[in-house]
Structure 1
């Protein structure tokens, strides 16, 4: 499976593409572990889309569907959606759980960027 763009403009990753797209990325990567049935995930999607567009020179934002990608979901012990993880140089350096406003998310991510 290759990376695909969703209707939101965010790149979707899978168990098969996670290592290349996230762990080997030159920029920090914000991964949203999400599910189609998750209302808070749908609430934060526009926020992530805006951040992806505005911070594209500093940060890559991707989504991973937890139901379709159980290997990566289990590897990072994701139990709640949305879980947001920032990866830098192949390592998860920051984890947030739950939807939040754009301002709050950017404040919480400031140290990771």
Structure 2
């Protein structure tokens, strides 16, 4: 291998590390749920490696029970998981796309793709257990 080839590899690796560090830093700043809409849903769920999306409505009692748990998890998992909320009444396209028939429904997205679903008001421990399964499978940032 020539010195030029080694230098090119080093530069490529450094760029990858800098990009990962920048993504980690941007994620760590997100310590509360992101407001997701029909217009930003695809880009926001694809933007982060691991996203938990809460489909809810203001009139839904169980949704109001889950909301403080989602807020708490967003603070506790800042930098590792991004949390988002979709008001199903205001965002029918996204809700219909994912076949949301009952709320609250929480979906886990990895790389913009839905990989898991939880339906109903779940306790914090159960949501955490599901998240940890996805945090452990595949690298988020190393």
Residue-by-residue CA offset, 1:8-28 (whole Å, 9 max, x unaligned): x42211000101111x22320
Greater C-alpha radius of gyration: 2
Task: Give the TM-score, by structure 1 length.
Answer: 0.87
- Residue matched to 1:85: 107
The answer to whether residue 33 in structure 2 is matched with residue 17 in structure 1 is: no
Q: How much has 1:90 moved relative to structure 2?
A: 1.4
- Residue matched to 1:27: 49
Extract unaligned runs of 5+ from structure 1: 1-8
Segments ≥4 residues shifted beyond 6 Å: none
- Residue matched to 2:63: 41
Q: Name the structure with the higher helix share.
A: 2
- Residue matched to 1:5: none
The answer to whether residue 90 in structure 2 is matched with residue 68 in structure 1 is: yes
Partner-residue secondary structure (3-state), 1:112: helix
Residue-by-residue CA offset, 1:21-44 (whole Å, 9 max, x unaligned): 11x223201000000110000001
Task: Give the TM-score, by structure 2 length.
Answer: 0.70
Q: How much has 1:103 moved relative to structure 2?
A: 1.2
The aligned length equals 104
Residue-by-residue CA offset, 1:47-101 (whole Å, 9 max, x unaligned): 1111101101110001000011010001000100000000001110010001111
Q: How much has 1:112 moved relative to structure 2?
A: 1.6
* Separation in 1, partners of 2:48, 2:54: 18
Extract unaligned runs of 5+ from structure 2: 1-31, 136-142
